[in-house]
C-alpha cells in the first residue's frame, strides 16, 4: 500500500477578505470623488493646465510717440525689434542647438542654461531688442519652447548733439533721462495683450481673443531748433577743447516766448550706444548743476538800485581805492577805477561799486528782486531734475553777505535759471516762463521791474560789449548786443579755490528789439585764459550771430559796427 500525503489547504480569516474588499472599494470611491470634483466642480483647474500647454497671453508693446523739433525734424523714433523669450518647462534643446543659439545671440551657453533653468517661471527673456536678421536666425533653429516677441527700440538721429536734451529710454522703452523721462506719460502710451494658441515650435496657429488693445504714445514737438542746436553744440565743444576745460554748457532762448531753442553740454555721450556710458555723463549740467554766477548777477543788483529810486544810470559811485572793507573781510576790484557812474559799475564790472549799491538797499528789497527773478526756486520748465539753486533768507544776511551777493558770491544758480532771469531785460521788465515745448501763442509772464528800468538796463548792458567794457569779444557783426561777463572762483571746502574758475557770458540781441538770449558757462578753463570775456564771450558771439542769421532777424547795426580796443585790459573783470 502506497503513502499519499494530505493536501495542504491555506485558509484565511474571513475578516481579512472583507477588509481588503472594503479598502479597494474605498480607493475607488476616493478616485471617483476626486474625478467628480475636478471635472464637475473645479473643471477650470484642468482646463487651465491644459490650456497652459498651448495657450499664451502675448504682450503687445505700445508704439512710443516720436519726439520732433519745432520744424518737424525727428529727434527720437522707435524702430521695431524682436526679443527672444522662453517658457522653460517647454524648452527642448540639445547641446548642438544650444551652441548655435549662443553664437547667434553672442551670449555664453552657461548664461542661456541659467535662464532656462528657471522652471518656476512661465516667461523669461533670453535676449532683448535684436535686429530682424538676427531674430530670423533664431527662428530657423526651430527650438521648442523658445519664441519671439515684437518690441520697439529707440533711435536718436542727432546722437550726441542732442543727448542731454532728449535723454534716452531703457530696454522696456520707458524714459530714463532728459525729456524722454520728463514726458514719459505722454510718449509712453499703454501696452496691450492678446491670447493666442501656439504649437510646440512657437508658431501661432490661432488668434483667440484681444484682451487689451495697445494705445500708442503721442508725439511731442519741442521748441528746439535742430540747426541752432548743432551750432551751439559745435561752438561749446570747441571752447571746452581749446581751453582744456572740465565742462561747458550753453543755452539759447527765444526771449519773446521763453522757448529753449538750443541747449548743449560738454562732455556728452551717444544715446544710441551706451555700453560704456559713465554715470556722470548723462547729467545735463545746464539744468541740474548749481554754481556761483559771479558778475553775471550784477545787473539784478543794479536793477534793484534803479527800482529803489535812489539811483539813475548816471549816479556817481566812488570805488577808490579799489577795495571795500566790511568787518574782517575786504572786497577787491580787478582794476582800480575811482569815481564811476552806475552804468560804468556794470561796464567795468566793479565789485566795490555793486557792493555799495547793494548795502544802500534794504535786505528785503534785494531779496525780493532776486526771488522775483526765479532764483532759489525751480524754473518749472518740465525738464526732470531741475536745480532750485540757493538763495538764503534775507533775515539771516550779514552786511558782508549782502555785499558779496551783489556780485554773485554766496548765491548759487543753474545756467537755465540765469538765462530765464535775463528775460526781464529783454521783455520790458517781465519774467517769461521757460519751456522745452513749441508754443503757438504768446505766453504770459510776471512783471518784476518797470519798463523804464528794463530799458535803462539794456543801455547799461550794451556798454559792456563796447571797447571800454569787459566783453567786446561778444560783439556781433550787424547787430547791437547787450550782456554781461562773469568770472567766478569755484567754491572749495569752506572757501574759494585759488585757480579754479567758471567763465561765463550772458547776453541778448538785437539790443534794439531783443529776439535771442544766449548763456554760456565754461567750467575750469586751464589753457592760460579764464576770464569770461576771453573764454565765454567769443562763443556767445559766434552762436548769436549764426542763430540770428538762421532765423532771418533783421540787422539793427551797420556791418562795420564791431570795434575792438587796442589793449587786452578790457578782458579783466571781478572775481
Taking the C-alpha atoms of residue 489 and residue 498, their distance in angstroms, rounded to an integer, is 7
Backbone angles phi, psi at 194, to 5 degrees: -150, 155
Q: Respond yes or no: is residue 249 known to be catalytic.
A: no
Helix pair 298-308, 363-372: axis angle to 10 deg: 120
Taking the C-alpha atoms of residue 486 and residue 503, their distance in angstroms, rounded to an integer, is 6
Q: What residues contact 387, with CB distance under 8 A and at least 6 apart?
A: 287, 288, 289, 290, 378, 414, 417
CB burial of residue 473 (10 Å; 0-12, 13-18, 19+): buried
Beta bridge partner(s), residue 250: 264, 520
385 three-class SS: coil
Which of the following is catalytic: 223, 226, 247, 295? Answer: 295
Beta bridge partner(s), residue 208: none
Length of the chain: 575
CB burial of residue 193 (10 Å; 0-12, 13-18, 19+): middle
Taking the C-alpha atoms of residue 575 and residue 303, their distance in angstroms, rounded to an integer, is 20
Cβ burial 55-91 (10 Å sphere, 16+ → b, else e): ebebbbbbbbbbbbbbeeeebbbbeebbbbbbbbebb
- For residue 296, the number of C-alpha atoms closer than 13 Å in the C-beta half-sphere is 35
Taking the C-alpha atoms of residue 298 and residue 306, their distance in angstroms, rounded to an integer, is 13
Q: Residue 13 has which C-alpha cell?
A: 480569516
CB burial of residue 314 (10 Å; 0-12, 13-18, 19+): exposed
Closest by CA to 148, choosing from 158, 136, 157, is 136
Residues assigned a catalytic role = 295
Amino acid at each position: 500500500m502506497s503513502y499519499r500525503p494530505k493536501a495542504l489547504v491555506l485558509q484565511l480569516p474571513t475578516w481579512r477578505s472583507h477588509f481588503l474588499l472594503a479598502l479597494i472599494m474605498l480607493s475607488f470611491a476616493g478616485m471617483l470623488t476626486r474625478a467628480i470634483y475636478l471635472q464637475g466642480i473645479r473643471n477650470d483647474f484642468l482646463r487651465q493646465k491644459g490650456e497652459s500647454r498651448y495657450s499664451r497671453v502675448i504682450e503687445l508693446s505700445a508704439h512710443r510717440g516720436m519726439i520732433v523739433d519745432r520744424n518737424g525734424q525727428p529727434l527720437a523714433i522707435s524702430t521695431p525689434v524682436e526679443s527672444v523669450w522662453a517658457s522653460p518647462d517647454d524648452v527642448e534643446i540639445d547641446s548642438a542647438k544650444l551652441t548655435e543659439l549662443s553664437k547667434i545671440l553672442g551670449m555664453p551657453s552657461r548664461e542661456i542654461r541659467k535662464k532656462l533653468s528657471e522652471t518656476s517661471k512661465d516667461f523669461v527673456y533670453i535676449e532683448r531688442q535684436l535686429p530682424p536678421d538676427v531674430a530670423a536666425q533664431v527662428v530657423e533653429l526651430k527650438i521648442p519652447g523658445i519664441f519671439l516677441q515684437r518690441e520697439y527700440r529707440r533711435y536718436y538721429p542727432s546722437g550726441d548733439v542732442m543727448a542731454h536734451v532728449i535723454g534716452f529710454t531703457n530696454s522696456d522703452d520707458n524714459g530714463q533721462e532728459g525729456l524722454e523721462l520728463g514726458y514719459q506719460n505722454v510718449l509712453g502710451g499703454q501696452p496691450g495683450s492678446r491670447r493666442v494658441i501656439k504649437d510646440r515650435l512657437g508658431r501661432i496657429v490661432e488668434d483667440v481673443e484681444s484682451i487689451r488693445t495697445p494705445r500708442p504714445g503721442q508725439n511731442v514737438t519741442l521748441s528746439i531748433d535742430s540747426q541752432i542746436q548743432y551750432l551751439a553744440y559745435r561752438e561749446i565743444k570747441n571752447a571746452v577743447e581749446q581751453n582744456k576745460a572740465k565742462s561747458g554748457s550753453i543755452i539759447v532762448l527765444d526771449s519773446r516766448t521763453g522757448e529753449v531753442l538750443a541747449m548743449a553740454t560738454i562732455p556728452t555721450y551717444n544715446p544710441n550706444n551706451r555700453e560704456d556710458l559713465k554715470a556722470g555723463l548723462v547729467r545735463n549740467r545746464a539744468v541740474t548743476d548749481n554754481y556761483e554766477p559771479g558778475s553775471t548777477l550784477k545787473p539784478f543788483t543794479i536793477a534793484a538800485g534803479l527800482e529803489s529810486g535812489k539811483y539813475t544810470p548816471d549816479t556817481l559811485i566812488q570805488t577808490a581805492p579799489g577795495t571795500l572793507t566790511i568787518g574782517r573781510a575786504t572786497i577787491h576790484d580787478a582794476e582800480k577805477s575811482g569815481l564811476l557812474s552806475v552804468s560804468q559799475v556794470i561796464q567795468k564790472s566793479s565789485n566795490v561799486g555793486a557792493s555799495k549799491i547793494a548795502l544802500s538797499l534794504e535786505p528785503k528789497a534785494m531779496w525780493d528782486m532776486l526771488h522775483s527773478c526765479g532764483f532759489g526756486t525751480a524754473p518749472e520748465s518740465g525738464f526732470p531734475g531741475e536745480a532750485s539753486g540757493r538763495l538764503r533768507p534775507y533775515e539771516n544776511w550779514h552786511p558782508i553777505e549782502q555785499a558779496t551777493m551783489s556780485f554773485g558770491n554766496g548765491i548759487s544758480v543753474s545756467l537755465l535759471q540765469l538765462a530765464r532771469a535775463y528775460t526781464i531785460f529783454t521783455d520790458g521788465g517781465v519774467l517769461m516762463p521757460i519751456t522745452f515745448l513749441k508754443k503757438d501763442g504768446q505766453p504770459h509772464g510776471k512783471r518784476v521791474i518797470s519798463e523804464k528800468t528794463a530799458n535803462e538796463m539794456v543801455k547799461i548792458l550794451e556798454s559792456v560789449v563796447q571797447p571800454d567794457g569787459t566783453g567786446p569779444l561778444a560783439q556781433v557783426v550787424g547787430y547791437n548786443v547787450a550782456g554781461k561777463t562773469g568770472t567766478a572762483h569755484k567754491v572749495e571746502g569752506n572757501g574759494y579755490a585759488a585757480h579754479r574758475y567758471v567763465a561765463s557770458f550772458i547776453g541778448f540781441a538785437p539790443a534794439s528789439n531783443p529776439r535771442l538770449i544766449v548763456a554760456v558757462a565754461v567750467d575750469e578753463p586751464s589753457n592760460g585764459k579764464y576770464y569770461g570775456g576771453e573764454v565765454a564771450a567769443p562763443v556767445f558771439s559766434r552762436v548769436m550771430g549764426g542763430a540770428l542769421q538762421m532765423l532771418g532777424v533783421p540787422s539793427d547795426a551797420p556791418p562795420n559796427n564791431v570795434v575792438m580796443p587796442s589793449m587786452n585790459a578790457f578782458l579783466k573783470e571781478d572775481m
